[in-house]
Amino acid sequence: MQNLPNYGVLIDEIEPPTPNDDLLRAIKYACRYWVHHFKQSDPTPGDIEDSFAFFETHFLYWLEALSLMRILPEIIGLINDLKALALTANNLQFSGFLSDATRFILANMSISSTAPLQLYVHALMFAPAASIVRGILNETIPKWISKLPLVSKKWGSLVQTLQHDEPVEAIAFSPDGQLIASSERYMTIRVWDTATGSLQKIIWKWKGDPLSDTREK
Protein backbone atom coordinates (compact mmCIF):
# COMPACT_ATOMS: atom_id res chain seq x y z
CA MET A 1 0.00 0.00 0.00
CA GLN A 2 2.95 2.30 0.59
CA ASN A 3 5.18 0.67 -2.03
CA LEU A 4 7.15 -1.21 0.61
CA PRO A 5 10.25 -2.78 -0.99
CA ASN A 6 10.12 -6.19 0.70
CA TYR A 7 8.19 -8.34 3.17
CA GLY A 8 10.64 -7.65 6.00
CA VAL A 9 10.13 -3.89 6.26
CA LEU A 10 9.45 -2.91 9.87
CA ILE A 11 6.69 -0.51 10.87
CA ASP A 12 9.28 1.78 12.51
CA GLU A 13 11.02 2.12 9.13
CA ILE A 14 7.84 3.34 7.43
CA GLU A 15 7.16 7.05 7.39
CA PRO A 16 3.60 7.75 8.66
CA PRO A 17 1.20 9.31 6.12
CA THR A 18 1.03 13.09 6.01
CA PRO A 19 -1.65 14.18 8.53
CA ASN A 20 -3.17 16.77 6.18
CA ASP A 21 -3.67 14.33 3.29
CA ASP A 22 -7.47 14.32 2.80
CA LEU A 23 -7.48 11.07 0.80
CA LEU A 24 -5.50 9.19 3.42
CA ARG A 25 -7.72 10.58 6.18
CA ALA A 26 -10.77 9.28 4.30
CA ILE A 27 -9.16 5.84 3.86
CA LYS A 28 -8.25 5.69 7.53
CA TYR A 29 -11.80 6.63 8.54
CA ALA A 30 -13.28 3.99 6.22
CA CYS A 31 -10.95 1.23 7.46
CA ARG A 32 -11.53 2.11 11.08
CA TYR A 33 -15.27 2.80 11.14
CA TRP A 34 -16.96 0.95 8.26
CA VAL A 35 -18.09 -1.83 10.58
CA HIS A 36 -19.78 0.68 12.90
CA HIS A 37 -21.68 2.21 9.97
CA PHE A 38 -22.54 -1.24 8.62
CA LYS A 39 -23.89 -2.30 12.00
CA GLN A 40 -26.09 0.82 12.25
CA SER A 41 -27.50 0.28 8.73
CA ASP A 42 -29.55 -2.76 9.83
CA PRO A 43 -27.92 -5.01 7.20
CA THR A 44 -29.96 -7.64 5.34
CA PRO A 45 -28.79 -11.25 4.92
CA GLY A 46 -27.69 -10.23 1.42
CA ASP A 47 -25.54 -7.44 2.87
CA ILE A 48 -23.94 -9.95 5.24
CA GLU A 49 -23.18 -12.24 2.30
CA ASP A 50 -21.61 -9.34 0.41
CA SER A 51 -19.38 -8.63 3.42
CA PHE A 52 -18.21 -12.24 3.39
CA ALA A 53 -17.38 -11.94 -0.31
CA PHE A 54 -15.33 -8.83 0.52
CA PHE A 55 -13.39 -10.73 3.18
CA GLU A 56 -12.68 -13.64 0.83
CA THR A 57 -10.65 -11.25 -1.34
CA HIS A 58 -9.65 -8.24 0.74
CA PHE A 59 -9.35 -9.45 4.34
CA LEU A 60 -5.54 -9.28 4.48
CA TYR A 61 -5.56 -5.87 2.80
CA TRP A 62 -7.74 -4.56 5.62
CA LEU A 63 -5.38 -6.02 8.23
CA GLU A 64 -2.39 -4.49 6.45
CA ALA A 65 -4.04 -1.07 6.36
CA LEU A 66 -4.82 -1.15 10.08
CA SER A 67 -1.28 -2.29 10.83
CA LEU A 68 0.19 0.57 8.79
CA MET A 69 -2.04 2.95 10.75
CA ARG A 70 -0.72 1.47 14.04
CA ILE A 71 -4.26 0.49 15.15
CA LEU A 72 -4.37 -3.24 14.34
CA PRO A 73 -5.56 -4.33 17.85
CA GLU A 74 -8.84 -2.46 17.27
CA ILE A 75 -9.86 -5.10 14.74
CA ILE A 76 -10.80 -7.66 17.40
CA GLY A 77 -13.83 -5.63 18.51
CA LEU A 78 -14.83 -5.05 14.88
CA ILE A 79 -14.62 -8.76 14.10
CA ASN A 80 -16.79 -9.52 17.14
CA ASP A 81 -19.44 -7.04 15.92
CA LEU A 82 -19.45 -8.63 12.46
CA LYS A 83 -19.70 -12.12 13.95
CA ALA A 84 -22.78 -11.10 15.94
CA LEU A 85 -24.39 -9.80 12.73
CA ALA A 86 -23.51 -12.98 10.86
CA LEU A 87 -25.03 -15.17 13.58
CA THR A 88 -28.19 -13.05 13.62
CA ALA A 89 -28.47 -13.58 9.86
CA ASN A 90 -27.81 -17.32 10.38
CA ASN A 91 -24.80 -17.09 8.10
CA LEU A 92 -22.79 -19.86 9.73
CA GLN A 93 -20.18 -19.89 6.98
CA PHE A 94 -19.27 -16.24 7.58
CA SER A 95 -19.40 -16.56 11.37
CA GLY A 96 -17.08 -19.58 11.11
CA PHE A 97 -14.66 -17.55 9.02
CA LEU A 98 -14.74 -14.71 11.57
CA SER A 99 -14.09 -17.09 14.47
CA ASP A 100 -11.07 -18.46 12.64
CA ALA A 101 -10.03 -14.90 11.72
CA THR A 102 -9.93 -13.99 15.42
CA ARG A 103 -7.51 -16.83 16.13
CA PHE A 104 -5.48 -15.89 13.05
CA ILE A 105 -5.20 -12.24 14.14
CA LEU A 106 -4.35 -12.96 17.78
CA ALA A 107 -1.73 -15.53 16.80
CA ASN A 108 -0.02 -13.01 14.54
CA MET A 109 -0.74 -9.72 16.33
CA SER A 110 2.85 -9.13 17.40
CA ILE A 111 4.58 -9.81 14.10
CA SER A 112 1.86 -8.14 12.01
CA SER A 113 2.08 -4.98 14.11
CA THR A 114 5.87 -5.01 13.70
CA ALA A 115 6.18 -5.96 10.01
CA PRO A 116 2.81 -5.51 8.19
CA LEU A 117 3.66 -7.51 5.06
CA GLN A 118 4.37 -10.63 7.13
CA LEU A 119 0.60 -11.11 7.01
CA TYR A 120 1.09 -12.51 3.50
CA VAL A 121 4.05 -14.70 4.40
CA HIS A 122 4.58 -15.76 8.01
CA ALA A 123 0.96 -15.47 9.13
CA LEU A 124 -0.50 -17.62 6.34
CA MET A 125 2.41 -20.07 6.14
CA PHE A 126 2.26 -20.98 9.81
CA ALA A 127 -1.53 -21.00 10.18
CA PRO A 128 -2.95 -24.49 10.83
CA ALA A 129 -3.68 -26.61 7.76
CA ALA A 130 -7.42 -26.55 8.54
CA SER A 131 -7.56 -22.78 9.15
CA ILE A 132 -10.46 -21.28 7.19
CA VAL A 133 -8.51 -18.07 6.58
CA ARG A 134 -5.55 -20.03 5.23
CA GLY A 135 -7.79 -22.14 3.01
CA ILE A 136 -9.47 -19.14 1.41
CA LEU A 137 -6.41 -16.88 1.10
CA ASN A 138 -3.71 -19.48 0.52
CA GLU A 139 -3.07 -18.15 -2.99
CA THR A 140 -1.85 -14.90 -1.44
CA ILE A 141 1.38 -16.59 -0.29
CA PRO A 142 4.18 -15.46 -2.64
CA LYS A 143 4.90 -17.94 -5.43
CA TRP A 144 8.66 -17.82 -4.80
CA ILE A 145 8.10 -19.75 -1.57
CA SER A 146 8.25 -23.24 -3.05
CA LYS A 147 8.17 -25.34 0.13
CA LEU A 148 5.80 -24.58 2.99
CA PRO A 149 6.53 -25.62 6.60
CA LEU A 150 4.79 -28.50 8.28
CA VAL A 151 2.08 -27.15 10.58
CA SER A 152 -0.51 -28.53 12.97
CA LYS A 153 -3.94 -29.34 11.61
CA LYS A 154 -5.98 -27.15 13.99
CA TRP A 155 -5.49 -24.20 16.30
CA GLY A 156 -4.14 -25.28 19.68
CA SER A 157 -5.13 -24.15 23.17
CA LEU A 158 -2.71 -21.20 23.04
CA VAL A 159 -4.71 -18.12 22.00
CA GLN A 160 -2.05 -15.41 22.15
CA THR A 161 1.43 -14.67 23.48
CA LEU A 162 2.37 -11.56 25.44
CA GLN A 163 5.97 -10.55 24.75
CA HIS A 164 8.24 -9.74 27.70
CA ASP A 165 11.88 -8.68 27.98
CA GLU A 166 12.53 -10.56 31.23
CA PRO A 167 11.07 -13.63 33.00
CA VAL A 168 7.61 -13.02 34.45
CA GLU A 169 7.41 -13.40 38.22
CA ALA A 170 3.70 -12.70 38.83
CA ILE A 171 0.46 -11.92 37.00
CA ALA A 172 -2.90 -10.49 38.11
CA PHE A 173 -6.23 -9.87 36.35
CA SER A 174 -8.42 -6.82 36.85
CA PRO A 175 -11.81 -7.51 38.53
CA ASP A 176 -13.65 -7.39 35.18
CA GLY A 177 -11.05 -9.57 33.46
CA GLN A 178 -10.39 -6.96 30.76
CA LEU A 179 -6.82 -6.21 31.84
CA ILE A 180 -3.91 -8.33 32.99
CA ALA A 181 -0.81 -7.06 34.75
CA SER A 182 2.48 -8.94 34.58
CA SER A 183 5.46 -8.28 36.83
CA GLU A 184 8.94 -8.89 35.44
CA ARG A 185 12.30 -9.07 37.09
CA TYR A 186 13.75 -5.64 37.96
CA MET A 187 10.31 -4.39 38.99
CA THR A 188 8.86 -3.77 35.54
CA ILE A 189 5.05 -4.05 35.38
CA ARG A 190 3.19 -4.30 32.07
CA VAL A 191 -0.56 -3.87 31.70
CA TRP A 192 -2.25 -5.69 28.77
CA ASP A 193 -5.68 -5.73 27.16
CA THR A 194 -6.83 -9.35 27.45
CA ALA A 195 -9.09 -9.18 24.36
CA THR A 196 -6.48 -7.92 21.92
CA GLY A 197 -3.18 -8.68 23.65
CA SER A 198 -2.12 -5.05 23.12
CA LEU A 199 0.22 -3.45 25.64
CA GLN A 200 -1.56 -0.60 27.44
CA LYS A 201 1.06 0.67 29.88
CA ILE A 202 4.55 -0.01 31.25
CA ILE A 203 5.31 0.92 34.86
CA TRP A 204 8.75 0.86 36.43
CA LYS A 205 8.95 0.58 40.21
CA TRP A 206 12.54 1.30 41.04
CA LYS A 207 14.21 -0.59 43.87
CA GLY A 208 14.23 1.47 47.03
CA ASP A 209 11.49 3.84 45.91
CA PRO A 210 8.16 4.07 47.74
CA LEU A 211 5.56 1.73 46.27
CA SER A 212 3.46 4.70 45.18
CA ASP A 213 6.35 6.23 43.22
CA THR A 214 5.92 4.92 39.67
CA ARG A 215 7.36 6.00 36.37
CA GLU A 216 5.19 5.26 33.38
CA LYS A 217 6.01 4.85 29.73
Q: pLDDT band at 191, cuts 50/70/90?
A: confident
Q: What is the pLDDT of residues 65-91, one digit of tens each?
A: 999 988 898 899 999 999 999 999 999
Q: pLDDT band at 48, cuts 50/70/90?
A: very high
d(CA 50, CA 45): 9
Q: What is the pLDDT of residue 212?
A: 42
DSSP-derived secondary structure letter, 180: E
The top-scoring range by mean pLDDT among 43-57, 106-120, 139-153 is 43-57
Q: pLDDT band at 205, cuts 50/70/90?
A: low
**Least confident piece of the model among 29-38, 124-133, 179-188:** 179-188
40-45 contacts, C-beta under 8 A, 24 or more apart: 43/85, 43/89, 44/89, 45/89, 45/90, 45/91
Closest alpha carbon to 198 in 72, 83, 102:
72
Domains of the chain: which residue ranges? 11-140, 168-216
Q: What is the pLDDT of residue 164?
A: 67
Q: pLDDT band at 17, cuts 50/70/90?
A: low
**Do the Cβ atoms of 128 and 112 come closer than 8 Å?**
no
Closest alpha carbon to 184 in 168, 205, 200:
168
